[in-house]
Each structure stands twice: as C-alpha cells, then as structure tokens.
Amino acid sequence: MLSTASKADLSLLAHVEASQHYPWTDNQLASCFDSGYRVRLLWQDDEVVGFSICQRVLDESTLFNLCVLPQCRGLGYGKVLMADLIEDAKAASDSVIFLEVRASNQTAIGLYLKSGFSEVGRRKGYYRCHDGREDAVVMALSLS
C-alpha cells in the first residue's frame, strides 16, 4: 500500500534511509517536505519498506531518492514506487522525469532502464564515495 508522507513520518523515512550505502541525513530528509515535493511511503504488513521523494517544478519532475529496505529488495517494491511516480507525473501533465544515480548503483540503473529511462548525461566525480569520488549518471524519461 502507498501513502503520502508528512513531516510527522520523518522517523519512518529515516529508518529506511539509515539502511542505505550512503544515507541522507535527517535534515536532508526533512527539507523534502517543502512546497513542490512529493514523498510517498510504501507499506507492507504495517511496516514502511520503502519510499520515494520527488519534486515538481513547472512541467518536470525530478526523482531525488528512492529507497527500499535491503531485506525487501528484489521483491518488486522498487517497481511499485517507480510506477507510482510515473503515474503521478503523467496525471500532472509533466513532460519529463529526471533523476541522477551513482554510476556504481547498477541495481537502481537497471530498474530505471526497465522503467523507460535513458542516460542523458554524466556528472564526473559528482558523488563522494568510500574511496574517492564517482560519477552521477543523469537519466530522463520523456512523458510527452
């Protein structure tokens, strides 16, 4: 089941986010409840197993974060969150959805490619990582 999150749900997001390789801080998560953001929670058996954060500006959406608990990966939850994002963007008459992802995150890149996204650019050395820096892969899905 999907629901729209509010600032009161910050601890639920933080729990999922803390399990990621390069987690956002609570302040970063909290900043995503300002105007123009859409935060969705994915529930399974009364537990949040994932979430997505996107921002809409004019007729474009940008996916900022999509997380699924490690023990729940490979069960289709990422696909559910992506389908929800795409459906919402289409309903809002968005023309495109953008995202960027660490070049090393091949699982996420595979999900995005299967969802219809394609690589439109790279940001060299954009992300910090444990052994230096890595590229950001910029991807887009045209909805028009």
Distance (Å, rounded) from C-alpha 138 to C-alpha 46?
Answer: 34
- Is residue 42 within 8 A of residue 48, CB to CB? The reply is yes
Q: Which residue is catalytic, options 87, 100, 119, 126?
A: 100
E strand or H helix that includes residue 42: strand 37-44
Catalytic one of 47, 77, 87, 112: 112
Query: Is 119 assigned a catalytic role?
Result: no
For residue 78, the tally of other CB atoms under 10 A from its CB is 24
Binding site feature residues: 105
Q: What span, in angstroms and rounded, lies between the C-alpha atoms of 71 and 57?
A: 34
User: Buried (b) or exposed (e) across 98-115, using 16+ Cβ within 10 A?
Assistant: bbbbbbebeebbebbeeb
Is 22 a catalytic site residue?
no
Q: What's 21's DSSP letter?
A: S
Binding positions for acetyl-CoA: 105
- What residues act catalytically? 100, 112
